[in-house]
A = this chain, B = another copy of it.
């Protein structure tokens, strides 16, 4: 048959066109038996070449920042684990210098010829936006994971709503310090830490945090504000300085990494119990600070869920099949609901 069509495959396999379409696009609802018949028919009449896999391999890359951020390590681990279980999907983890838009843009441009899709923890910067635009124009599937770039057409952002996360942190601090009844003339002082405000995520957490304090807890005020690049050492130095300058602070919110540095100072100075401390991401270190009572709560996003959604979204986009992403939940972990898995 010189130019066999889908209809020829359907005729030969004695199934409907819809079934042929399902099989060739790897959708569910077809028994393995029927799938085999369709694939055989397609090969027999030359619609598929013998030896060609029906599912074209999908090559993906996850571009994540270098460094010791434990949440990023979790993401990387789940990429390897989960993609290993998917048929005809390979996903590599590529590391770039953190907070550096040029390095990120160059990396994703360099990957262009090697992959069908990219997920990246994005720095929100014009250079990165331009690189994403160019990849998308080239027909590549692109999602962001963990931190987004806006005003660029891509498949979407897979992660928590960081504005909501910042509001939540402020709400917890307000409730746990009893700030509803605090008078504005004797405000409670709060310290705020970010990793880098070049991550849209950290910027948004700050916006949300300020917003809810203004709305609901007028008796709380941000007395100290630091950007510590997710560095434990820098966070430690800055926390010491804050305690010297403001020994009367009632709470700390760390929107980024380096939580261990802040915790070390709180424990060393005996302030762990009376200062309410909220941070992000349920890492091993944070788990032990929760158990010791140094951290009051951790705001967590489920790395496993996010990687699964990113992989599924990208694979469906590359194969041209439909998929609706299940948004991750914003979880609060206290000592009393530490998850087992």
Interface residues of A (CB under 8 A from B): 26, 28-33, 35-36, 39-40, 43, 51-55, 85-88, 161, 164-165, 167-168, 171-172, 175-176, 178, 212, 302, 304, 326-327, 329-332, 334-337, 339-341
Interchain CB contact (< 8 A) of A39 among B36, B52, B340 = B36
Cβ–Cβ < 8 Å partners of A337 in chain B: 164-165, 168, 329-332
Interchain CB contact (< 8 A) of A33 among B29, B53, B212 = B53
Question: B335–A171 contact, CB under 8 A?
Answer: yes
Question: B40–A36 contact, CB under 8 A?
Answer: yes
Question: A54–B31 contact, CB under 8 A?
Answer: yes
Smallest Cβ distance from A335 to chain B, in angstroms? 7
Copies in the complex: 2
Cβ–Cβ < 8 Å partners of A302 in chain B: 329
Of the A-B pairs whose beta carbons lie under 8 Å apart in the complex, a sample of 19, sorted by A's number, is: A28-B85, A30-B87, A31-B55, A32-B87, A32-B88, A33-B39, A36-B36, A36-B54, A167-B336, A168-B334, A171-B335, A171-B336, A178-B178, A327-B339, A327-B341, A329-B331, A330-B337, A331-B332, A331-B337
Cβ–Cβ < 8 Å partners of A304 in chain B: 326
Question: How far, in whole Å, are A29 and B330 apart by their CA atoms in the complex?
Answer: 33
Question: B35–A35 contact, CB under 8 A?
Answer: yes
Question: B332–A31 contact, CB under 8 A?
Answer: no
Smallest Cβ distance from A186 to chain B, in angstroms? 17
Smallest Cβ distance from A215 to chain B, in angstroms? 11
Residue of B nearest to A31 (CB): B53
Question: How far, in whole Å, are A43 and B51 apart by their CA atoms in the complex?
Answer: 19
